[in-house]
Structure 1
Amino acid sequence: MNLENVNLTENCLTLCSEKTVSITVHVLLYVSAVAVVLLTVCGNLLVIISVCHFKQLHTPNNILILSLAVSDLLVGIILMPLHFIWKTESCWIFGLILCHVYNFFSFHLPCVSIHCVALIAADRYSALNNPFFYSQEVSLSLMCVVVLFNWMFSVCYNFALLYFNGNFTDLTMCPGECLFAQSEIWSLVDLVIVFIFPCAVIIILYTGVFFIARRHINAIRGLVNLRTTGDDETVKHSAASETKAAKVLGILVFVFLICLIPYYICTFIGDIVDTKLFYDLMNYALIVLYLNSFINPIIYALFYPCFQRSIKLILTCKIFQAHSSFINVIGSTI
């Protein structure tokens, strides 16, 4: 939304008024919101505990998954409750300071999460494309530096985005509102940095991962055919691995784009559509964007047997046993 249009607005865009929905619907909305928040928090907590506790999961790739889970956990703790209460009550009841905090984290945490996804794609492509270089040069300490840089970049970038658009100094709001302003130039910059660039990286690198994996599988099939023509089980296993890789990569890209595209469409139609319609659309787009934090632990962690085993150990409280951090959770090759 253009800052000048916001400050020149004489009438409040939203008013804290009597609820227009029945008590049953109101309660149902809160129950649904609590369920989504709890599932988001619990799912990401399980991933965080798994990576931190089990020594076998202390790998560079899992450091990125840990960073993703932390950002998604904060979305579930900070953004989801505030947003769901705000929209259920049709009124911002938390004051101006918390509004600024909410707006900052609403930019910062999704930005960290999106760039983590892009870094995971780069990590997996590097590991498959040049495994010898990856095993020698990519260490836990290096990945921790990369993760720290990602978080610091997001903090600096999003603070600059909000500050230079006057959100901390010039923006005036009516009681019950929590707005943010963003110029067309900054909208374009944000689109490139937080959407176009990471999306291009994800699509290109995951496509490369798929073709490299398929090439490796074809090479394994060739070796099997050279050694013995009767080893159908290995060939079937290779075909199953290829199918699984295609499905997982397809789900990764599809869900990621579905969650992000609605929000960035809304950022460009603020000056075109009716103001109330814009806020309704932005409301739903933000809900879809936040739901990505609920889906991420399922896609990036729970699809893999090592995380399934570690989560089972956590839920059965076996992590409290002596030397439980050294339990074999990887098992056979995934």
Structure 2
Amino acid sequence: MDNFHYCYPDNNASCLKFLRQTEISVILYICAGIVIIVGVLGNLFVIISVSRFRQLHTPTNFLVLSLAVADFLSGFLILPAKFIEVIENCWYFGDVFCPYYMTYLNFLPFVSVLNLVTISFDRYLAVCNPFFYSTYVTNSVAGICIIFIWLLAFFYTYTFLLHTGGSFITYWCVGMCRFFNYSDWWMIHYTLTFLLPMLLIICLYSVIFVTARRHVKAINCMMKETKSADSKKTQLSKSSERKAAKTLGIVVIAFIVLCSPGFVFIVFQMFFEINSENLLPLRLALTYLSTMNYSIDPIIYALFYPWFRKSLKMMVTLEIFNIICYWGCSHYSLTLSVNLTQN
């Protein structure tokens, strides 16, 4: 107990907090700040890039945009409070904000998971059934899927938090914010929001990479038999689809690697009675590991997507404002000339 202190020293009803050396706390907050800044700014760059440039308006990129919006909101609404809560082991944001925080904490990660599943299915259709994909998968279809994803996540989160017998706990001690529910509901929750989506993603990408290897062999054989322009065009198209599948596959793998340990830890806690005080360092480490998922996607895009690097450079050098001004001035000049002609 020498390592513990009250969250609010002047209140004997306060929760206990774990005391760390000042140097360690400073390092933890610096690392948390880096994760938050990279996550918020990186995903903001993705949002601006896909939204602003028309050549990026494809079904796949719209799904990437939806994922970036979910990760941006997570970094902006969840991560600051999450890091403070897990570092200090105290809740300093009041009882009123606690239910909203718990809602965001369950809603936005589930949106990200559903986006990753949809992206995996999109790449599956593009690689394994390209004729169907090019005919039926349009920007409108992607938009409908995105709306469905966000609505599904919202109604599921609403049902789980308010209609399964759970409750928000803030009254056990001052400085607490928890959501408690029955163990059976927690198992159903984690199965639906993580385990089943992860297994579906793994199955889809397994089929994608097997099919991609088969396509490579078929294209190589075709290129040996003919050197026509059509075959070269087919090769470039297939190569582009495989490259997109590979890049987004890395995003999915990063999600599984970073979030799986936290899932295993939660399940382990549910089945084995262990003093939670002994697990504080492990919980802190797994929190940092899982939250890196919100900031790593833009780094992957920067490494593998030329369009992201180009748009990022334009935003950093403020060249994008020149383009916006050029478009605005051109539109104004066109409108003015039309009005003068009519008059």
What TM-score bracket applies, with the shorter chain setting the length?
Answer: 0.7 to 0.9
Residue type at the aligned position of 1:192? T
Report the equivalent of 2:104: 105
Conserved in 2, the CA contact under 8 Å of 1:93 and 1:176?
A: yes
Residue type at the aligned position of 1:295? I
* Separation (CA, whole Å) in 1 of partners of 2:311 and 2:126: 23
* Separation (CA, whole Å) in 2 of partners of 1:100 and 1:203: 33
* Separation (CA, whole Å) in 2 of partners of 1:203 and 1:322: 41
Conserved in 1, the CA contact under 8 Å of 2:28 and 2:87?
A: yes
Report the equivalent of 1:275: 276
Report the equivalent of 2:52: 53
Unaligned runs of 5+ in 1: 1-10, 229-236, 326-334
Quick check: which has more Rg, 1 or 2? 2
**Paired residues for 1:52-131 under 5 Å:** 52-131=51-130
Question: TM (normalized to structure 1)?
Answer: 0.81
The structure-2 alpha-carbon separation of the partners of 1:169 and 1:89, relative to structure 1 and needing over 3 Å to count, comes to closer
The structure-2 alpha-carbon separation of the partners of 1:37 and 1:96, relative to structure 1 and needing over 3 Å to count, comes to same
Deviates more, 1:210-219 or 1:52-61: 210-219
Deviates more, 1:262-271 or 1:186-195: 262-271
* Separation (CA, whole Å) in 2 of partners of 1:155 and 1:218: 44
The structure-2 alpha-carbon separation of the partners of 1:146 and 1:243, relative to structure 1 and needing over 3 Å to count, comes to closer
* Separation (CA, whole Å) in 2 of partners of 1:137 and 1:247: 22
Deviates more, 1:286-295 or 1:75-84: 286-295
SS at match of 2:292: helix
Conserved in 2, the CA contact under 8 Å of 1:112 and 1:151?
A: yes
Deviates more, 1:289-298 or 1:299-308: 299-308
SS at match of 1:67: helix
* Separation (CA, whole Å) in 2 of partners of 1:113 and 1:261: 15
Question: TM (normalized to structure 2)?
Answer: 0.79
* Separation (CA, whole Å) in 2 of partners of 1:199 and 1:220: 31
* Separation (CA, whole Å) in 1 of partners of 2:252 and 2:168: 38
The structure-2 alpha-carbon separation of the partners of 1:227 and 1:131, relative to structure 1 and needing over 3 Å to count, comes to closer
How far off its partner does 1:114 sit?
Answer: 1.0
Conserved in 2, the CA contact under 8 Å of 1:266 and 1:278?
A: no
Instruction: Give the fraction of aligned pairs with identical amino acids, expressed as a percent.
Output: 37
* Separation (CA, whole Å) in 2 of partners of 1:127 and 1:173: 52
How far off its partner does 1:172 sit?
Answer: 4.1
The structure-2 alpha-carbon separation of the partners of 1:256 and 1:242, relative to structure 1 and needing over 3 Å to count, comes to same
The structure-2 alpha-carbon separation of the partners of 1:12 and 1:295, relative to structure 1 and needing over 3 Å to count, comes to farther
Conserved in 1, the CA contact under 8 Å of 2:36 and 2:76?
A: yes
The structure-2 alpha-carbon separation of the partners of 1:42 and 1:281, relative to structure 1 and needing over 3 Å to count, comes to same
The structure-2 alpha-carbon separation of the partners of 1:115 and 1:124, relative to structure 1 and needing over 3 Å to count, comes to same
Deviates more, 1:45-54 or 1:263-272: 263-272
How far off its partner does 1:277 sit?
Answer: 3.4
Q: Give the RMSD, CA atoms, in angstroms.
A: 3.3
The structure-2 alpha-carbon separation of the partners of 1:320 and 1:243, relative to structure 1 and needing over 3 Å to count, comes to closer
How far off its partner does 1:74 sit?
Answer: 1.0
Conserved in 1, the CA contact under 8 Å of 2:95 and 2:170?
A: no
The structure-2 alpha-carbon separation of the partners of 1:144 and 1:108, relative to structure 1 and needing over 3 Å to count, comes to same
How far off its partner does 1:144 sit?
Answer: 1.2
* Separation (CA, whole Å) in 2 of partners of 1:104 and 1:254: 26
The structure-2 alpha-carbon separation of the partners of 1:245 and 1:57, relative to structure 1 and needing over 3 Å to count, comes to closer
Aligned residues, how many? Answer: 309
Deviates more, 1:127-136 or 1:147-156: 127-136
* Separation (CA, whole Å) in 2 of partners of 1:29 and 1:41: 18
* Separation (CA, whole Å) in 1 of partners of 2:65 and 2:246: 23
The structure-2 alpha-carbon separation of the partners of 1:112 and 1:184, relative to structure 1 and needing over 3 Å to count, comes to same
Report the equivalent of 1:251: 250
Report the equivalent of 2:291: 290
How far off its partner does 1:181 sit?
Answer: 1.2
Conserved in 1, the CA contact under 8 Å of 2:262 and 2:286?
A: yes
* Separation (CA, whole Å) in 1 of partners of 2:277 and 2:164: 22
How far off its partner does 1:169 sit?
Answer: 6.0
Report the equivalent of 2:312: 311
Conserved in 2, the CA contact under 8 Å of 1:71 and 1:113?
A: yes
